[in-house]
A and B are shown apart, each in its own frame.
Chain A
Amino acid sequence: MISSRPRPFTRDTPSFFLIGCDSSSASALSVKERIDHKRKTALCGGGQHRIDAQHKKGKLTARERVELLLDPESFVESDMFVEHRCSDFGMEQDGNKFPGDSVVTGRGRINGRLVYVFSQDFTVFGGSLSGAHAQKICKIMDQAMMVGAPVIGLNDSGGARIQEGVESLAGYADIFLRNVMASGVVPQISLIMGPCAGGAVYSPALTDFTFMVKDTSYLFITGPDVVKSVTNEDVTQEELGGAKTHTTVSGVAHHAFEDDVEALLNVREFFNFLPLSNQDAAPIRECHDRSDRLVHSLDTIVPFETTKAYDMLDIVHATVDESDFFEIMPNYAKNIVVGFARMNGRTVGIVGNQPKVASGCLDINSSVKGARFVRFCDAFNIPIITFVDVPGFLPGTAQEYGGIIRHGAKLLYAFAEATVPKITVITRKAYGGAYDVMSSKHLRGDVNYAWPTAEVAVMGAKGAVQIIFRGKENQAEAEAEYVEKFANPFPAALRGFVDDIIEPSTTRRRICRDLEVLASKKQLNPWKKHANIPL
């Protein structure tokens, strides 16, 4: 039957509806119904009672999380119709098939900026990872790398889909491979919002940042039961792999948040600091803080007694835009402070020794923490600002046996390798090898400043005098001579190892100006397949 008048053709109406033939029309309708039905089912995840159970645990569902993480109505879902393909153990039955399977994937925007997201759905088979689940994740990761946009993974999964056996394991490996390929190409963030155990933990471990939710998230290779049977240790889930453990003891996670809502809102905020990919510059947000603001409180922050501590965070907060500092690993290796801030709107990475904790010395944990952060900044074009007050590396058998030599080398390596703008401010002590390590001029620091309180020397006066004037009677006099010669910024400034000695109050103004100049910095390291950082 051919209609005498052509019907209007609209984009919304699939063309097969237009070609009217009764039988095909009926089947088309049923397809439409099936589509609607599948969509509706997919939106319900594992069903209302499982959703209620999830809520009861103080957790949001996979879809609620995505909705809260992304700008309103920006989520574009992919693979809603994908189902698992397992036909063993009764998994093939209709009741065991869920459209979309146990993960929600797609893309969206955070403050208008593109991001790819996957969110594991605990209400479907406990969020376990099937081949299909992994495939969905891999798909969006591939696309993210292609277009250059970050990937945020919301993890809430009981582990492998045991019914699928090796297919599940293969799925993990496929994800791991993409995590590695994407590393340094697009930022990858993992937010652990439930269990994440066994092999699954390696995906977050490979990403750039791992955040956790307090009391409801766990990360471990083997759970308390296995621990008990193998090592006979009694340990709770929380102690073994809770947020507190990983943000204070193991250093696996970079931050912990109170609950799902706080975590997701904070990740939105965190995302604002990051460039979309290694091809993009660090973002510049509209800034209300004057770039030429003088910070008078810095003029008095370093105490007169060189042995007295102060809080490096005070310096950071006073210097950066609006005191807005997103600290990474605030409770781990607290003798070094790292995190993101902005200077005149532009994202910068801040590294600072923390005199308040262990005198701000470098040890194994702080070196590793600092090194990983510096490498992230370098990979993603984020300028690095380093505040130095370091009395040296921590001595002792624990450190030597633990390999402080190779771990300390990581931080040295990271700073030396970095080609992003590097600005260094020596606030007080810069002693020994640690001086070299902390983004010194010799490691291609672009601008190195010293405050009037800076002391750049091989070591403190007491130790130095004992060596230089061994056996000499008047140690006090010798010490005074040493202090006069070395406990000031002149030896370094005379040699051009610091570019200027500045009034602390002008620090912000100077850094802002320098960053403007350095925005066009171009520096290349020699070609290599990849470098060989002392892992």
Chain B
Amino acid sequence: MAAHRLSPSLNRLLLAGKYASFWTRCCAVHGYAQYSTACSPNEKTFDKILIANRGEIACRVMKTCHKMGIQTVAVHSDVDASAVHVKMANEAVCVGPAPTSKSYLNMDAIMDAVRATGAQAVHPGYGFLSENKEFAKRLAAEGVAFIGPDTYALQAMGDKIESKLIAKAATVNTIPGYDGVVKTVEEAVKISQDIGYPVMIKASAGGGGKGMRIAWNDEETREGFRFSSQEAASSFGDDRLLIEKFIDNPRHIEIQVLADKHGNALWLNERECSIQRRNQKVVEEAPSTFLDAATRRAMGEQAVQLAKAVQYSSAGTVEFLVDSNKNFYFLEMNTRLQVEHPITECITGLDLVEQMIRVAKGYKLQHKQEDIPINGWAIESRVYAEDPYKSFGLPSIGRLSRYQEPLNLSNVRVDSGIQEGSDISIYYDPMISKLVTYGATRAEALASMEDALDNYVIRGVTHNISLLREIITHPRFISGDISTNFLPEVYPDGFKGHQLEADSRRELLAAAAALHITAQLRSQRVLGDLRVSSSPVECSHWELCVELEEGRHHVDVTKSGKVYTVEMDGVKVEVDGQWNLASPLLPLAINGTHRMLQCLSRDASGKIVLQYLGTSFKVRVLSKLAAQLNSYMPEKVPEDTSSLLRSPMPGAVVTVSVKPGDSVAEGQEICVIEAMKMQNSLTAARQAKVKSVHCKPGETVGEGDLLVELE
């Protein structure tokens, strides 16, 4: 297999080239605000760093390592053997099979990898072992640097109960709640009643929204307790829970801190992370539209007080809930590099990974608090492989058959760990990338984000571009009127994609009609065949019927050059474009306005799926004759699915609470599916008797698999 081994190294070369250009771009974007103000070549840090993570964050850390001239070691599970982070690294070690508990959480294997490769330091990224004090201890015992805070801070801040007590002592504002571990369901109910509803039940060891439930009454407390402890156990191996007052309609704003081992600490301004779904962040920005300088300073100073109280070193994040009166409460401290760190880098010009590496080596901070600027505005959209039409995002899996990041645009940064051909599997987080745009003003950054989302080509998995685009173009978001309840408030009936108005609907239909004709005309262009009829001159006028959802429109199309004039309902729309039928992107000028559409699919029977304003629309274009004949075609009735419970996503069956013959009430839980470490309760759509059960606990199921059939 020698020849095969060549290919990863070849790829690595190619990748190195690719990232070199990426790097230049980032620096160029920021102009005076570069990533790192003073990367001193004399400042020796480490020769070799092992990155105990995967995906985009592993790649992110490696980029900085390579910039600093540090050799990198990747660890990977067997299914990740050809992942981008493996190709990017100078060395790679397989640490076990696909399940994270056997690979990326497998401390023994990772310690072996550290020893085998002689890495002097380990960067844990986020998640996995990043806040695991045991891991940090084992590294310390072997004299390997852990690029993160000391074990004391890890322990102190890793436990939500303890962290709250420490915060209180450090005169940081905290949320009223119960400062202890809740042991039983009944105790949970009693404590909740004492605090007063609503309450938040969360895993003591948790983070990232996992093992977190909100309860508004005793019943929900009981349910939440059960779920959270199960989720906590499976995600963190620790089922301890705590309960606190739930602050309704708050903002989630966090402060990035950076501290060294010499007692110095800085706050690097805030990140606004209020746009969340199921307590997971979706869109973040820095700075926040909500904070004034005084509040920012107060929050920053409290964050630094807390960091100092636990002798924090390295980069960390202090999360606050901020109510409408700008009262802020300490939520938790994340003792690691945060997912959304790039937006802080964009506005401060600091390379946080570089700073972490320096600090881990024992260097003092290079900056003073007054050196930390807010230059411009940065927005981050988390692009996920998930279906936003299902509870704002249920995981989807698949192979990225086509994948193109919008790096051709300026002021765009994409942190990703996948490439065309990568698999999004059920084993890991379904994040595709973090799309960051930057601008001198918020409006500029938002405009870039809109462009970037339109230019992002993702095929093969369902993704949440539509939701992201709707959020960043929503008037409430634009005006900064947001809270953690933004999504349920704006979309009370669930997300349904972009809602077309008369004008935009016409634009879409016109684009579809023009595309259809382009394809038709192309079919007539057979090269070098003398047997093609030459008699009819190329047609330049067509009558078509375009169907979208329930509406049917008769349109007249004329063509001159590459410009189509599409007339419908007495209104003319002009569509101009390059009309490349092989390109996934369809850059058009519609009535002179530039629009980037994407053609997702196109078939012989006139069905075209276009991504327009972020949302995909199914359009059917037929000739007038075909449309008329199509009216005779029977409606094909889809199978009645209300009696079938299908898995909404790929995952593993945790519990099945019914058996054939049972009667279930509407909304009664039927089974629980775990995917990407999230437990999802599936309930009966109506009152019925269970006819048959097609799944067992422990089984892996795919999206759309039949789980239970009702009578």
Contact = CB atoms under 8 A, between A and B. Distances in A.
Interface of A: 55, 58-60, 64, 67-68, 71-74, 109, 111-114, 215, 257-262, 265-266, 268-270, 272, 276, 280, 283-290, 296-301, 304-305, 311, 314, 317-318, 321-323, 345, 452-453, 487-490, 501, 503
B60 interface: no
Contacts of B580: 288
Contact of B531 (A114, A299, A323): A114
Interface of B: 1-4, 6-7, 10-11, 78, 81-82, 399-403, 419-422, 522-529, 531-534, 536, 580-583, 604-606, 622-623, 625-626, 629-630, 632-634, 636
B78 A67 contact: no
Can you list the 6 inter-chain pairs with the closest CB atoms, starting with the nearest?
Answer: A297-B421, A269-B604, A289-B582, A58-B634, A452-B4, A286-B525
Contacts of A317: 401
Given A58-B633, A113-B533, A489-B3, A261 B605 contact: yes
B660 to A, nearest CB: 28
B409 to A, nearest CB: 21
Contacts of B606: 265
A68 B626 contact: yes
Which of B400, B422, B634 has most chain A Cβ within 10 Å? Answer: B634
Contact of A322 (B6, B532, B581): B581
Contact of A321 (B523, B531, B582): B582
B81 A304 contact: yes
Given A297-B403, A487-B1, 6 more contacts: A58-B634, A285-B522, A297-B400, A300-B419, A323-B401, A503-B7
A489 B581 CA distance: 37
A270 B702 CA distance: 33
A264 to B, nearest CB: 8
Nearest to A258: B636
Given A260-B633, A314-B399, A321-B582, A304 B526 contact: no
Given A265-B604, A288-B582, A114 B632 contact: no
A489 B2 CA distance: 10
A286 B527 contact: yes
B525 A285 contact: yes
Given A260-B629, A261-B626, A301-B421, A284 B605 contact: no
Nearest to A483: B1
Given A113-B526, A286-B522, A314-B399, A300 B626 contact: no
A112 B401 contact: no
A284 B629 contact: no
Contacts of B402: 297
Contact of A112 (B10, B533, B629, B633): B533
Given A112-B524, A286-B527, A299 B626 contact: no
Contacts of A266: 604-605
A258 to B, nearest CB: 6
B640 to A, nearest CB: 18
B93 to A, nearest CB: 15
A154 B408 CA distance: 50
B531 A276 contact: yes
Contacts of A258: 636
B532 A112 contact: yes
A285 B531 contact: no
Given A113-B526, A297-B421, A322-B582, A259 B82 contact: no
A299 B525 CA distance: 33
A314 B401 contact: yes
A505 to B, nearest CB: 9
21 contacts: A67-B625, A72-B625, A111-B532, A112-B534, A113-B526, A113-B529, A259-B633, A259-B636, A265-B605, A280-B531, A284-B529, A285-B526, A288-B582, A289-B582, A296-B419, A298-B421, A299-B82, A299-B421, A311-B399, A452-B6, A452-B7
Contacts of B525: 285-286
Which of B422, B527, B534, B632 has most chain A Cβ within 10 Å? Answer: B632
Contacts of A59: 632
B526 A64 contact: no
A268 B6 CA distance: 46
Given A266-B605, A268-B604, A283 B629 contact: no
B1 to A, nearest CB: 5
Contacts of A487: 1
B632 A285 contact: no
A285 B6 contact: no
Contacts of B82: 299-300, 304
A163 B478 CA distance: 78
Given A60-B629, A60-B632, A285 B605 contact: no
A272 B523 contact: yes
B629 A261 contact: yes
Contacts of A314: 399, 401
Contacts of B630: 261
A147 to B, nearest CB: 9
A503 B528 CA distance: 33
Contact of A488 (B3, B420, B527, B623): B3
B581 A300 contact: no
A503 B605 contact: no
Nearest to A64: B629
Contact of A262 (B81, B582, B605): B605
Contacts of A503: 7, 10
B625 A490 contact: no
B629 A68 contact: yes
Contacts of A276: 531
B100 to A, nearest CB: 19
Which of A111, A266, A453 has most chain B Cβ within 10 Å? Answer: A111
Nearest to B628: A64
Contacts of B581: 288, 322
Which of A112, A113, A262 has most chain B Cβ within 10 Å? Answer: A112
A284 B421 contact: no
Contacts of A321: 582
B523 A285 contact: yes
A112 B526 contact: yes
B631 to A, nearest CB: 9
A280 B420 CA distance: 38
A70 B78 CA distance: 54
A280 B622 CA distance: 31
A304 B78 contact: yes
Contacts of A318: 401
Contacts of B78: 304-305
Nearest to A257: B605
A266 B634 CA distance: 18
A212 B605 CA distance: 15
A487 B81 CA distance: 19
A489 B536 CA distance: 53
A296 B420 contact: yes
Nearest to A490: B3
A232 B538 CA distance: 59
A113 B531 contact: yes
A283 B606 CA distance: 23
Contact of A288 (B524, B528, B583, B636): B583
A16 to B, nearest CB: 29
Nearest to A268: B604
A25 to B, nearest CB: 35
Which of B403, B421, B528, B636 has most chain A Cβ within 10 Å? Answer: B421
Contacts of B634: 58, 215, 259
Contacts of B421: 296-301
Given A58-B632, A280-B531, A299-B7, A111 B526 contact: yes
A242 to B, nearest CB: 14
A290 B581 CA distance: 11
A284 B604 contact: no
B373 to A, nearest CB: 39
A274 to B, nearest CB: 11
A289 B532 CA distance: 23
Given A453-B4, A488-B4, A113 B532 contact: yes
Nearest to B80: A304
B610 to A, nearest CB: 16
